[in-house]
Structure 1
């Protein structure tokens, strides 16, 4: 019986030298997207989530952005028709150019208000304007701007591109749901879904347990790990479906209640129901 866990993973490892910049060998590009608003305009942000485990990279203190203006955006500011494909080609060209010439690291992109922005971090910025122009000359129909800012703490990545904790959990949920679907899971079929929450005090754990039992959750176990800052664990289960709406509703309910008690929601797990 296969099982999948939705939560947070932390790795430690040695490092290796790649593209003239030290990167941990545990690093694996992990791109995902989410919707939000930028200056009251609907937006889509895509970013490399795995960088959160290693950033800021001290060898890459300069943020570079390139803004490309859409030729024919929809009323909501997003591209339409073949422009999706063209923006993908522009992205590929910019990434290849800046990675090759500046050893820059592509960290994210935004789409909002008729503008596609691309964000990089680099160790230096010498001739960056030339390299950007060399890439964009292949797309003469597109207007663009660019800029550079010293950003040793990667504020752009963490404070602008990175989702808030609630959206981040929804992204993690979607990752697990995609894996379930790839293995034939039938989302409409309810099954037991386990959740883990950890508390700093035993009294908080018991109060939490009483509240969630009234919401249909069953307490399956109360593990204890004295080495953890939140040593008092609680494993809950409830019969739920694995469609995105159902999972988000259950997870965010437990997550928000955990936040009220300064507890840590630590993910969910279920079995694949394929028939």
Structure 2
């Protein structure tokens, strides 16, 4: 029996699919319980765009209709066959939706009813076994770099809502955890050479795996480009010493002092 208890947590990121630019939307919240044993079948629904820009994305006038199609597909499959909506892609003139389900007998009938609502669109669908949820794990779920950028953007959005002026330098604090004290000390020497100051070093006894906590800080701007560059570099540096980068924080700066 699978554990279907989770909280949806949707986000979007940019990447490339077969050398074409793509926007990926994925439910990150289902990852801790995936794959669901009672949802072993993948459903893929592909909508052909009518107005396609040079980059493969739709024209401005088509977004509203795509949202209508999405609402119809999602609400119908959830209600009729208890399908779980896990992600969608937009690339190369196509919008694709991905679901997992345990009920397949009514899938074709259900989709034909949805397609009849949008006769002006080319809508195709298929189902296939995917017990391990490989499409969710390998296609939809972001890689480590994209996931870090997602978390960065969430913090930056919160700062923006507070009136933050991102190009004003301020103290930015980072957390990293290590497996051994020796790894932490080796990383510390490198980080100091990069201009970081140590704020805290401690051992957390009830945290297995990486109990050696390391908190460092530095004056930096908090715009998207700078933050992505900083965090990805720290993440790479930490991994060289068996460390795990665990995020950052800063205060909103609303005006020059």
- Structure 1 unaligned residues grouped into runs of 5+: 1-20
Match of 2:175 among 196, 200, 203: 196
2:30 corresponds to 1:51: yes
Cross-structure match for 1:75: 54
Aligned pairs for 1:204-215 (under 5 A) are 204-215=183-194
Cross-structure match for 1:113: 92
Any idea what SS the aligned residue of 2:135 has?
A: helix
Q: How far 1:23 sits from its partner (Å)?
A: 2.5
**Contact kept in structure 2, 1:190 and 1:241, CA below 8 Å:** yes
Q: How far 1:220 sits from its partner (Å)?
A: 0.8
Q: Matched residues in 2 for 1:75 and 1:271: separation?
A: 40
Aligned pairs for 1:245-256 (under 5 A) are 245-256=225-236
Q: Matched residues in 2 for 1:72 and 1:180: separation?
A: 36
Cross-structure match for 2:156: 177
Q: Matched residues in 2 for 1:103 and 1:183: separation?
A: 40
Cross-structure match for 1:38: 17
Aligned pairs for 1:1-275 (under 5 A) are 23-24=4-5, 27-227=6-206, 228-275=208-255
**Contact kept in structure 1, 2:186 and 2:241, CA below 8 Å:** no
Q: Matched residues in 1 for 2:211 and 2:7: separation?
A: 30
**Contact kept in structure 2, 1:184 and 1:273, CA below 8 Å:** yes
Q: Matched residues in 2 for 1:134 and 1:45: separation?
A: 26
Q: Which has the higher helix share?
A: 2
Q: Matched residues in 2 for 1:22 and 1:82: separation?
A: 41
C-alpha RMSD of matched pairs (Å)? 1.3
- Structure 2 unaligned residues grouped into runs of 5+: none
Q: Matched residues in 2 for 1:166 and 1:39: separation?
A: 18
**Contact kept in structure 2, 1:185 and 1:274, CA below 8 Å:** yes
Q: Give the TM-score normalised by the residue count of structure 2.
A: 0.95
Q: Matched residues in 2 for 1:273 and 1:29: separation?
A: 31
Q: How far 1:252 sits from its partner (Å)?
A: 0.8
Q: Which runs of 4+ in 1 moved over 3 A?
A: none
Q: Give the TM-score normalised by the residue count of structure 1.
A: 0.89
